[in-house]
Structure 1
Amino acid sequence: MSLTPPSDAPTGPGPVRQLSLFGTEAADPSPADLAGLLAGPAQIVRMGGTARLSVVVDVAWRVHVLVAELARRGLNASWEATGDGHRVRTSYTSALAPLAASWLSDGPVPDGPPPGTPASRAATADGDDGAGGRPDAADRAGSGPDGDGRTGGRPDGADRAGSGPDGDDGAGGRPDGDGRVAGPPAAAEDPVRKRPPATFHLNGRRLRLWVAAAGVAEPSGFRLHLGPADEPCWETVGRALAAVGLPSTFLDAGAEGPAYRISGRRRLARLAELVGDRPVAAPVTGWPSGPA
């Protein structure tokens, strides 16, 4: 596999689709879309009036896709090999300062929409027969111990499901060339823990970045992985998924998580509609797809 970040230009004509209000085509790409990465395992730090986002991914194709997506948003990116994959990170830039300010606020941030709002009711609006439960549901199924000795947290009342090893053991390579940049001293970085702002929401562009960084296809579903240390984010992120028609089942750290699993034909088709066409670098089996 070539490790030069590829172009996302399509190789041939694709199917004609109706544009989704929340899909990738609904608006131009912007740095604000990186909120989708922060919904997953990415981290953001501040330095003065600038900020930098970084995320560790497990295989090389994710590096290709993320570098291309960041470039579409006017953001320079670098990458380096790590012990468990590859770290992709932006340069420090003022373009990410508003995103950092909203996610690293020191003040209390509401966990989500108040009860009775359309967003809070969205989890029950989908009549799909899939197995995904809504993030605030009382039913729970299956959990396991955290194999690395840490305690796997969960959103209160969130569904649990699933167990077993992750079948994606693809070996990613390090991108060609020296993509590394020297970071500032650790003391210059803001240690404030990330948390979604009260206005946090998901759309196709944000979901596309999340899928590229931490989405894993399964035989009967699709997992969107979360940051292992980001428990304050999990419940709000689950509600945001439900609000765009993707009520999902929460998986504990010992059950292939922490992650949200999207199940059911309608919901998987909805996910595929939202995130758009598969990037050239992504494997067919690694990207959401609608019904054949």
Structure 2
Amino acid sequence: MDQLSFFSAEACGPELADLAGVLCGPGRITAFGRTAARLSVLVGEPWRARALATEFARRGVHADVLREESGLLVRTAFRADLIGFAAAWHAGEVKELPTGFRLTGGALRLWALAAGQPTGNHYLLSVDEAATATHAPLADACGQLGLPARVVGPNAGGPAVRVTGKRRLATLEELIGAPPAAAMAVWPQVKPVTAA
């Protein structure tokens, strides 16, 4: 019988704090004064938009999916319960990792849904190109979760945090839980070794 990791998305259950996962990638948080904030993330594939809207709903947050010129925008309304994200993730106009940020399986799941992609023997979690100061700390946050990773640049498919190796991919797969049906092709999977 398989045992779930204490930090996995399935063991912890959905929490509002998991929405930070989209901010690890290309997500944006916009404050309305000091009373409310809106979370949004632009994705390229319809399945990503649907899966993220579903995951937001599991956490009690409705998100609309809007067609934009450059993709699909998954966007919440301005909400009082999101203002903490805006305060924690911004220093002025620049997105930064909150002090003491700890990645969870649930946040990692949303990051993978928003911006995860397998490539060869690696799994890439895209990061925000405009928030370069978050890249190395995000790789460190993965390491603190028991998932050693490193930052790679455009020549290696980035900017992204890259997870490499069968054992690490198995850990990643365990942490983020079962994929939505439409995500099977881009979910981290340990490839079975075939006999020559």
**Same fold, TM-score > 0.5, yes or no:** yes
Determine which structure has more spread, i.e. the larger CA radius of gyration.
Answer: 1
Q: Which residue of 2 aligns with 1:27?
A: 12
Q: CA deviation at 1:73?
A: 0.8
**Gapped regions of structure 2 (runs ≥ 5):** none
Match of 1:173 in 2: none
Cross-structure match for 1:267: 168
Q: Which moved more, 1:253-262 or 1:239-248?
A: 253-262
For the residues of structure 2 that align with 1:54 and 1:38, how far apart are their CA atoms? 9
Aligned AA (2:10): E
Matched, 1:44 2:21: no
Question: Matches of 2:161 and 2:58 in 1, distance apart?
Answer: 27
Q: Does 1:285 align with 2:185?
A: yes
Partner of 2:142: 241
- 1:250 CA displacement: 1.6
* CA deviation map 1:9-46 (0-9, x unaligned): xxxxxxx5311111012323122111111111111010
1:1-292 correspondence to structure 2 within 5 Å? 17-48=2-33, 49-106=35-92, 192-282=93-183, 284-290=184-190, 292=192
Cα RMSD over matched residues? 1.5
Q: Sequence identity, in percent?
A: 40
What's the CA shift string for 1:111-160, capped at 9, x where partnerless? xxxxxxxxxxxxxxxxxxxxxxxxxxxxxxxxxxxxxxxxxxxxxxxxxx
Aligned length in residues: 191
Q: What SS class does the counterpart of residue 281 from structure 1 fall into?
A: helix
What are the Cα deviations for residues 54-95 of structure 1, in whole angstroms up to 9, with x where unaligned?
111111110111000000011111122223321111111111
Give distance in 2, aligned partners of 1:244 and 1:287: 19
Instruction: Tell me by how many angstroms 1:219 deviates.
Output: 2.4
Q: TM-score, normalised by structure 1?
A: 0.62
CA deviations on 1:171-223 (whole Å, 9 max, x unpaired) are xxxxxxxxxxxxxxxxxxxxx22111112111110000000000001221110
Q: Deviations over 1:206-249 (max 9, x none)?
A: 00000000000122111000011011111111110111122223
| 8 A contact 2:9–2:106 mirrored in 1 | yes
Greater share of residues in strand: 2
Q: Tell me the TM-score normalised to structure 2 length.
A: 0.91
Q: Supply the distance in 1 between the matched residues of 2:118 and 2:69 (Cα, whole angstroms).
A: 23
- Identify, as 1 or 2, the structure richer in helix: 2
Q: Which has the higher contact order (CA 8 A, sep 6+)?
A: 1
Please give the alpha-carbon distance, in whole angstroms, between the structure 2 residues aligned to 1:28 and 1:101: 25
Q: Structure 1: give runs of 5+ residues left out of the alignment.
A: 1-15, 107-191
